[in-house]
Structure 1
Amino acid sequence: MLGAIDRGEVNAVCSPLSAQVALTMVGMGAAGQTLAQMEDALGGSMDELARAANTLSQQLEVIGDAEREEDDDEAPEPARASLVNGTWLQEGYEIQESYLEDLATWFGSGLWEADFTEDAAREEARSEINDWVSDSTNDLIEELIPEGFLAAETRLVLVNALHLKAAWPTELGKSGGTFTTAGGEERSTEMLHGSTATWHEDELCRATSLDTYGGALALALVQPTGELDEVLDAWAEDSAALSALLSGLEDSQVSTQLSMPAFDIDWDASLKEVLGSLGMTDAFTDAADLSGITGQADLLISDVVHKAVITVDEQGMEAAAATAVAMDTTSADVEMQELVLDSPFLFVAYERETLAPLVVGWIGDPTQTR
């Protein structure tokens, strides 16, 4: 997904995880060629993806609990993370009981009824969904559902919301500095400085990671040795390349001096074209087979909207992402390294035990903020 979004964006942040979970909720009711395309695009069978989402949700839920129990006033604020789901169903619209059970069992999804058929009631539903997303993301994402996303034909809206916040164990230093954009322009920006204990290097990039208080979350920072596009292409062609990078960081013990800009960015877009480019096409057409939801092939995905935010400063990081799917009826030795991120680079906020990438993106100009 990161490799498929618009490369023209100066800065970008997204959560393939959030999109995957929301679409897996849909895919639990898919069949035939629609199911095959969705599983290929999402990277596994629906049962596997549902179990993984359930496990990760539980993993994130307990992050920071041990530190909160210690109640140490001198320590940084304990980390927290959540991955939650919600379902809004058209009043009176009947769906399979087995599908509702899957949503509750694997995704813990709350279920609310709404009226999408009337203008005023549809706007009320839009406001309700956006308020839920805002509450679930610590107000970082305030309007996921834009005007016009819902229609009189909408029958089901499935939403995933991800939030994480974590402090560095020790506050980073900061000073003035410069950042050179891909176009060669120098920007004056605040630079952060600190030490890390990880290092990874291959033919495409050099990387380190910032640990967080409690150790459950980390932020990988990746500097291309060539062009940013070369790393994005490699990750798009083989998702194992990113896993290898994160594993390499977790397995390393190398002292590294890090310099990087603070950044505060957001990004939002429809994922319809991105998913189509990844081979998921039938679900958006009358050929969609989502018969596991209603018992008949009378639904298609009208659109998928995604929004993500990340802030990184001297104290820590906070990030959030949300995805909504609308369904309508058819018609080695200790060494010292240095990483100075003063030109375009990538970032990956990840859960350390599972190595699950939570929020990813790139920085082309840290002076452009949300």
Structure 2
Amino acid sequence: MRDHMRHLSLTLVIFLLLTHTLFAEVSPMKSNDAEALSQANTRFALDLYAALTAGKDDNVAFSPFSISTALAMTWLGARTETATQMQSTLRFESGAESAAASFEGLLGVLDAKDKPYALALANRLWGQKGYDFLPAFLELSKKHYGAALQEVDFQGDPEKTRKTINDWVESKTAKKIKDLLAEGLIVPDTRLVLTNAIYFKGKWKTAFDKGDTFPAVFKSPGGDSDAQFMTKEATFGYADTLTAQLLEMSYDGDELSLVVVLPKATDGLADLEKGLSVETLETWMASFAQEKVLVQLPRFKAEGSVRLDDTLKDLGMKLAFSDDADLSGLNGRTDLKITAVVHKAFVEVNEEGSEAAAATAVVVGPKGAAGPSDNNVLRADHPFLFLIRHKSTNTLLFLGRVTKP
């Protein structure tokens, strides 16, 4: 067996590739728009990943696509320097309305019907009843993001409204995302909540046999732990670089796939993370050839729950959270600011396939308010990073890492 084909016990990166092979034929997006949106979303995703993993070695799971979508909807209401900061943080070169038009095309492709997998996305505006939101903002949100306004009574019953929003999120994510808005996050002064929810479930094209799953040690940073390893020898997309092995396993329909990137250095996760870039991802995705591979991958669940206020401020979005915010595109006045951005995500990979869900909420309130064998062998028995990615448009839908299955 060639040296680089030996049993490997190394850190790895997993990509769940959401692939649409007919994208060019069915998408209303222009190729330049699709590429610009992909570049912006990927750069923002990697910025978030670096911020959320800095100085930590625990599990991380989030949907950069969900966060980007919710913030891009909010960006439609931002003006002056507040809008400039949001544009820079979200990594867009075009303006909010141009980005919204690109999102409209992408959402139309991703929210697929009559497929052998489930992939659903939903956006909604929750506004104080009787509040004078600008018609232009409501129209653009509905047209480009499918985000209709649902009037609620924050002022009269904030707790009931919080539960209403959480119930909606739960219904859109097959009950995988619960209690997105924590108790106390919605107050009588809340005027608007912008939400995004995303759900994915797909079965493997070549399924793992549960009878072949075996117990083995997973080398976690804090000490070894027990894990259940799925195993399968079959023909998959495979590539071998100087520093890593790459694997692509398709789901039913051949439009979605899981991609694993396994560093050759046992302690290679940190170096791998430092080298993550749009260009690196593109190079990896273009390098696959069909080869026979013996895969040994742990079953895992990864969940994440995070409040993103400080992270987004550190990435350059300070004004939107301050009393100097200009969200006058929402109501024609400069009396509102973002009071909270919250996000939850769930990813599970097992013998049958994968399931993932996430939701994001941007809370807006008045200024002054407080914020709330001879073949290739890939043995994944070390911490790994994972992505859910739409291959044709290079859009990252989920991103995270597992340090203990």
* TM-score, length of structure 2 as denominator length: 0.81
For 1:88-237, list aligned pairs within 5 A: 88-118=126-156, 121-173=157-209, 174-183=213-222, 185-194=223-232, 195-202=234-241, 205-226=244-265, 227-235=268-276
Runs of 4+ in 1 over 4 A off after TM superposition: 201-204
Q: CA offsets, 1:120-142, max 9 Å, x none?
A: x1111101100100010011002
Q: Which segment drifts farther, 220-229 or 305-314?
A: 220-229
1:248, distance to aligned residue in structure 2 (A): 3.4
Change (3 A) 1:31 1:217: same
* TM-score, length of structure 1 as denominator length: 0.88
1:158, distance to aligned residue in structure 2 (A): 0.1
Q: Sequence identity, in percent? A: 32
Change (3 A) 1:59 1:338: same
Q: What's the counterpart of residue 69 of structure 1?
A: none
Change (3 A) 1:299 1:247: farther
Q: Quick one: distance in 1 between partners of 2:66 and 2:300?
A: 22
Report if aligned partners of 1:57, 1:82 keep a CA contact under 8 Å in 2. no
1:310, distance to aligned residue in structure 2 (A): 0.7
1:211, distance to aligned residue in structure 2 (A): 0.8
Q: Quick one: distance in 1 between partners of 2:123 and 2:269?
A: 33
Greater relative contact order, per chain length (Cα 8 Å cut-off, separation 6+) = 2
Report if aligned partners of 2:57, 2:221 keep a CA contact under 8 Å in 1. no
Q: CA offsets, 1:68-112, max 9 Å, x none?
A: xxxxxxxxxx20101110110011211111100111110001211
1:204, distance to aligned residue in structure 2 (A): 5.0
Please state whether the residue corresponding to 1:5 is helix, strand or coil.
Answer: helix
Q: CA offsets, 1:273-308, max 9 Å, x none?
A: 111121111111012111111112111111100000
Q: Which segment drifts farther, 304-313 or 42-51?
A: 42-51
Could you tell me which runs of 5 or more consecutive residues in structure 2 were left unpaired when the two chains were aligned. 1-47, 369-373
Q: What's the counterpart of residue 279 of structure 2?
A: 240
Q: Quick one: distance in 2 between partners of 1:202 and 1:151?
A: 53
Q: What's the counterpart of residue 75 of structure 1?
A: none
Q: Would you say 1:288 and 2:325 are equivalent positions?
A: yes
Change (3 A) 1:108 1:14: same
Cα RMSD between the aligned structures? 1.8
Q: What's the counterpart of residue 21 of structure 2?
A: none
Q: Would you say 1:83 and 2:121 are equivalent positions?
A: yes
Change (3 A) 1:182 1:108: same
Could you tell me which runs of 5 or more consecutive residues in structure 1 were left unpaired when the two chains were aligned. 67-77
Query: In the comparison of the two structures, how many residue pairs are matched?
Result: 344
Q: What's the counterpart of residue 7 of structure 2?
A: none
Q: CA offsets, 1:28-53, max 9 Å, x none?
A: 11111111111111121323432332
Please state whether the residue corresponding to 2:122 is helix, strand or coil.
Answer: strand
Q: Quick one: distance in 1 between partners of 2:97 and 2:143?
A: 12
1:169, distance to aligned residue in structure 2 (A): 1.3
